[in-house]
Amino acid sequence: MTNVPTLDVADSPKIVLTADETMMSRFRGGMFVGFATCMPRGILPDWFFFRVWAPPVPRTNLRALYSDFGLRIVEASLAKEFGTDEVAVVHPHDLEKVVGSRTEIVAIGGHDFLGINPPTSEFVDLVDRGPPYNRVKFFELMQKPLMKERVVVAGGKAAWQLADEATMDKLNINYVHLGEGEITIPQMFKSILAGEELPRIVTGVSPRVEQIPNITGATIHGLVEIGRGCGRGCAFCTPNMLHVMHKPIDHIEKDAKTNAQAGQSSIILHSEDVLRYGTTGMVPDTERVLKLFTRVASVEGVDNLGASHVALASVYHNPELISALTDMCSSTLGQDWIGTQTGLETGSVRLLARYMKNKALPSSIEKWHEIATQAFGILDDNDWVCAATMINGLPGETTDDVIKSIELVDELKSIATKSLIIPMNFVSMRGSSLDSKETFTAKKMTPEHWQLLGECLDHDLSVVPQLLRRFDANGSGLIPGRLLEISVKRITNGLKKYVQAMRRGESPIGQREDSIWLTPKIPDLNGT
């Protein structure tokens, strides 16, 4: 941790932005280690988790040197309105040193405030050891006495979890902001500072692309947003609800430079399908995507590029684009692998047709099996390391649907040799078109679901050692990096004994009810 001077809090900014501790870590630079934010308490000692897995981001002058991208965008939007001195992104450990007599608003961003989104909910339910760290740390943050004395605004991807007045009252949250904030948050904060009345739950309006500001500080994992929305229209998906737009290359390059200048040499280009940068259709503009990667790779100080998400259909239909990106990253940056995430979702064409009928475009959905297997082959051949998610328990799912997924995973085991496959239980999330449906939990898992989970874990356990080697190769071989590696090995070894039983369709948790940790108990912080 950086040594920080104590400031005179009388000089404090009017607006302080923060997040819970799990969102304020670089997870030792490991993109996949970041999934640990979803870990339940009780697997590792807290002190070990927050020192070895998720140490706090470094800070300069009590400002977080790296932060979540969403907070950075809000910071930049507010700075345009109120000036840079009046807005600060602060680690929760430093709040008492920064929030002073001039501070009127504390705003909190979150991806999963209550720990109920996938994959947190699934980990918590299966492990049944304790509440998730993101929930624990969010409640800890809300309990700080200074929160009672300021106007508190919550926003970000998980804002929907807090958007009811009973929850807000218990947690002393004055306002919740839903959706995109570039336009609405500055207006909202202006009204708050002017003492005007406004609704407690505010829904943001989508900005035009030119209204999105450049970030002014570096981001965790060097995440740089290149576009929003998707357009494939999967029924369970919330990012899909956003209007599709892409930022100009100059804008993206500037955000990458801001990261590189702060020592963040690894950049993850972020959109729902990085391969469709610059187009609203389903056919990639390959020249534009290559130009984007090349421009960002040429930023001084950048030595590694990743893609937050790619669609398997885009990979399958454009293998030459994957090879061109691989060659460029290898020749320009000396990169020997590229990290990404994708949605494998299911092996059932019936479910795909019902909930994700555009997933395979420009091919028909009947080709999904071929698309998935070939796309993983292309990614593997090009040393793209992927975390692929599947969904268990979609509404109306049958045993036959799950068997189709098992068959697909079985085939992928020998093809996706560098990628993780992670089945996640369906969560009904407000804002998606399936938000009235029931969430799927471990107690509803059938032998086939256990078998699917077992096959995926069996595959993942064979991939983790090489991921650890790549992680080590990226310069984390110091003592904490070594401790992280040892603890990952211990966890994966511990899992091995359950995997064979799961592959036989046996539940390792017996016939129990949902974990008591699955549903958050919202503390009533009034008067405490």
Count of C-beta atoms within a 10 Å radius of residue 510: 6
Which C-beta is closer to ligand SF4: that of 174 or that of 363?
A: 363
Q: Taking contact as CB under 6 A, which single stretch among the options 10-18, 201-209, 234-242, 450-458 is the one that binds ligand SF4? A: 234-242
Which C-beta is closer to ligand SF4: that of 21 or that of 272?
A: 272
Please give the helix or strand (H or E) that residue 175 lies within, else none.
Answer: strand 175-178
Q: Taking contact as CB under 6 A, which single stretch among the options 158-166, 173-181, 192-200, 235-243 is the one that binds ligand SF4? A: 235-243
The one-letter amino acid code at 84 reads T
Which C-beta is closer to ligand SF4: that of 67 or that of 340?
A: 340
- The full 3-state SS of 68-121, as one line of letters, equals CHHHHHHHHHHHHHHCHHHEEECCHHHHHHHCCCCCCEEEEECCCCCCCCCCHH
Asked if 431 is part of the footprint of ligand SF4 (rule: CB under 6 A), the reply reads no
Site string for ligand SF4, 253-282 (x = CB under 6 A): -------------------x----------
Distance CA 253, CA 10 (A): 37
Give the residue, chosen from 22, 103, 240, 392, that forms a contact with ligand SF4 under the rule CB under 6 A.
240
Q: Taking contact as CB under 6 A, which single stretch among the options 231-239, 322-330, 406-414, 474-482 is the one that binds ligand SF4? A: 231-239
CA angle 501, 505, 507 (to 5 degrees): 65
Closest approach of ligand SF4 to the CB of residue 434, in Å: 12
Q: Scanning the structure block, which residue is given the tokens 């992280």?
A: 484
Asked if 25 is part of the footprint of ligand SF4 (rule: CB under 6 A), the reply reads no
Give the residue, chosen from 100, 233, 431, 508, that forms a contact with ligand SF4 under the rule CB under 6 A.
233
Task: Provide CB contacts within 8 A for 244, sequence distance 6+.
Answer: 227, 228, 229, 230, 231, 280
Contact predicate 297/334, CB 8 Å: no
Closest CA to 14 of 76, 97, 144, 101: 101
Closest approach of ligand SF4 to the CB of residue 229, in Å: 8
Applying CB under 6 A, what is the total number of residues that bind ligand SF4? 12
Give the residue, chosen from 59, 135, 232, 459, that forms a contact with ligand SF4 under the rule CB under 6 A.
232
b or e along 57-71 (b: 16 or more beta carbons within 10 Å of the residue's beta carbon)?
bebeebbbbbbbbbb
Which C-beta is closer to ligand SF4: that of 219 or that of 432?
A: 432
Which C-beta is closer to ligand SF4: that of 119 or that of 343?
A: 343
| Bridge partners for 432 per DSSP | 430
Task: Provide CB contacts within 8 A for 501, sequence distance 6+.
Answer: 454, 508
User: Which residues within the stretch 335-354 sit at the binding site for ligand SF4 (CB under 6 A)?
Assistant: 343
Please give the helix or strand (H or E) that residue 420 lies within, else none.
Answer: strand 420-425
Give the residue, chosen from 42, 58, 100, 239, that forms a contact with ligand SF4 under the rule CB under 6 A.
239
CA angle 494, 474, 221 (to 5 degrees): 85
Helices (H) then strands (E): counts for the chain: 17, 18
Which C-beta is closer to ligand SF4: that of 152 or that of 224?
A: 224
Distance CA 373, CA 411 (A): 7
Count of C-beta atoms within a 10 Å radius of residue 93: 15
Site string for ligand SF4, 284-323 (x = CB under 6 A): ---------------------------x------------
Which C-beta is closer to ligand SF4: that of 43 or that of 352?
A: 352
Q: Is 298 helix (H, G, I), strand (E, B) or coil?
A: coil
Q: Taking contact as CB under 6 A, which single stretch among the options 30-38, 110-118, 217-225, 237-245 is the one that binds ligand SF4? A: 237-245
Give the residue, chosen from 31, 234, 420, 467, that forms a contact with ligand SF4 under the rule CB under 6 A.
234
Which C-beta is closer to ligand SF4: that of 202 or that of 237?
A: 237
Closest approach of ligand SF4 to the CB of residue 184, in Å: 23
Give the residue, chosen from 15, 52, 230, 325, that forms a contact with ligand SF4 under the rule CB under 6 A.
230
- The binding site for ligand SF4 (CB under 6 A) comprises 230, 232-234, 237, 239-240, 272, 311, 343, 356, 359
